[in-house]
Structure 1
Amino acid sequence: MSRQNFTQNLRLLCSYHPSVAEVSRRLGMNRQQIMKYLSGGAYPSASSMRRLCDFFGVEEYEIVMPSDQFRDIVRLKPSLPISAELAPPVVSSLLKLAAQQSSQLTRYTGYYYEFRYSFTTPGLVLKSLINVFESDGLVLYKSIERLRRHGPGATPQPAAGTDIFKYLGLLLQVGNRIHMLDQEAIMGEELSHMILFPPYRSRISTLLGMKMGVTATEAHEPIAARVVLEKIGRRVEVRRALEHCGLHPADADTVPASVLSYLDEPGNGGPALLHAHPGPKS
């Protein structure tokens, strides 16, 4: 079944490009070989699978998912380059800047754990997985959140897939700060924005900053919190990494002391979470 899913999903990904010949040229792969994959006559080796997934900006476990689920994942992904001429000037300017920076921003590619206090479940730290990758001349990222609880008092686990939320976004640098802007990938009803300090060493281990978004409650209140991105490698076993993701008690061993110290840092930031309210009705 996974081979059949792969064939259907690869056809979908190729449909976002002008032709199979264009895909093979940009991949540096033989066109006949890709046609065999598309017809189901061959299945890629491990190295070829990695090349395909890196090119299309998807995970290896995603490309063999049932096709209806996979279609939802890629539906809002900017798989094709966006024409600057067709975009409003401010959007065009940002996209051009992001494209110009792609070579220097590739240093951030890889997998990270994101730590911040949950916007919706006070007192718990949300640990998520982020994959930063290059695609179509831009540096993009995918964030995966799992809302299952870990530790004492954890509730029974939800049905498979119901506790996972995915976000797709763009990374760029403005004014010596890293900006990460994303949109929720299924319904498209949430935007979030991280502003991070660039590392002062050539080796990237952690990125620190602030994240803004909205709560998942009916009120959808604007909210902000400190955030820490901890780099875990260029390649990871995604399923295993996701097992560590979810809502954790702040004093859990799964939340590093250095991370918690930053999230709880007193002084300028005030409370761990900063809510915005609509104010009194006029």
Structure 2
Amino acid sequence: MEHDGNQVAHFSANLRLLCERHGSISAVCRKINLNRQQFNKYLSGLHMPSPQNLRLIANYFGLSVPILFSQPDEFRTLVEGNFFHAMENVRRSPELNKFVEAMIVESSGDQKEVLGVWDRYQYSSIYKGFILRSAFCIYKNNQFLQHYYIERFPSYDDPTKTEYVFKYYGFVFPVAGRLFTADFEGIQRNELTFGVYAPVKRSSSKFMFGIATGIAATMFRQPYSTKVALHYRGPGLLKREHLDALTVLDRGDPSIPREALQFLGDGSEMIQLG
């Protein structure tokens, strides 16, 4: 796709603004896995990214590709509308700290049953009709529970390569036989996710079935609500073997547990708002 001079100038100006708000250019290049010299050409307007690299850049900043070509004044207005800093404000808010302290008191029951590594299955909001397998870990930090989970999405052009990664970190609250989670996306820092899960034991396997809701901190990513199945893998923290299994799967893939597939259904109940 060819871009005229105005589009190239808009893109480079908008990219510079995004980089200014996301730390060093080297860090951005490292996280997107793009060559720094080539990225400098994008910033200066000397060269346009390939369609694949445009998707990488847009995904990293939580934007759609067309938005990157907006008029710079309009783009700055959108960016400075606190969309990119909503999560930081939430993290620093005294209301969140009070909520966490209250939930820690309520979560003083037996927690050993939920600690460890879980495979996490849900229908993907990016790869329509496919099931995303991510790695979910619950661990104890002093007097309360925390968790983190990692998603990897393969490239459309080369499924053997990873196109982008999301990492979430948050709190876990066992209350009344249910597990409540609240987490923040840690790479792009533009999403807040909530979940509620019910532990279920089927035959010799442990599962947790529930619902997760993702709320983007920008107006460009669609909020969603979807069923999620967690399948227990073992104690401890995430290891290389768990990360190597992260991908997007066809619904008929035999590695998906039958119980998880039955709970998830055909994906028709996934709700996206936009």
Residues 208-239 of structure 1, C-alpha deviation per residue, up to 9 Å, x if partnerless?
01111157997311111111000000037711
Same amino acid, percent of matched pairs: 21
Q: CA deviation at 1:196?
A: 0.8
Asked if 1:140 is matched to 2:141, the reply is: no
Q: CA deviation at 1:92?
A: 1.1
2:114 to 98, 108, 116: 108
Name 1:274's counterpart in structure 2: 271
Q: 1:87 to 1:214 in 2, by over 3 A?
A: closer
Q: 1:250 to 1:167 in 2, by over 3 A?
A: same
Per residue, is there more strand in 1 or in 2? 2
Name 1:155's counterpart in structure 2: 158
Contact 2:192 2:217 in 1 (8 A): no
1:123 to 122, 129, 150: 129
Name 1:207's counterpart in structure 2: 208
Q: CA deviation at 1:141?
A: 0.4
Is the partner of 1:157 in helix, strand or coil?
coil
Off by >4 Å, runs of 4+ in structure 1:
214-218
Residues 105-155 of structure 1, C-alpha deviation per residue, up to 9 Å, x if partnerless?
243110000000001111110000011001132100010111127xxx872
Q: TM-score, normalised by structure 2?
A: 0.58
How far apart, in 1, do the equivalents of 2:205 and 2:106 lie?
21
How far apart, in 2, do the equivalents of 1:195 and 1:128 lie?
17
How far apart, in 1, do the equivalents of 2:189 and 2:110 lie?
29
How far apart, in 2, do the equivalents of 1:173 and 1:237 lie?
21
Count of paired positions? 185
Q: CA deviation at 1:156?
A: 4.1
Structure 2 unaligned segments of length 5 or more: list them: 1-29, 32-90
Q: 1:190 to 1:155 in 2, by over 3 A?
A: same
Name 2:171's counterpart in structure 1: 170
Q: TM-score, normalised by structure 1?
A: 0.56
Alignment map for 1:3-152 (pairs within 5 Å): 87-88=94-95, 91-148=97-154
Structure 1 unaligned segments of length 5 or more: list them: 1-67, 70-81, 278-282
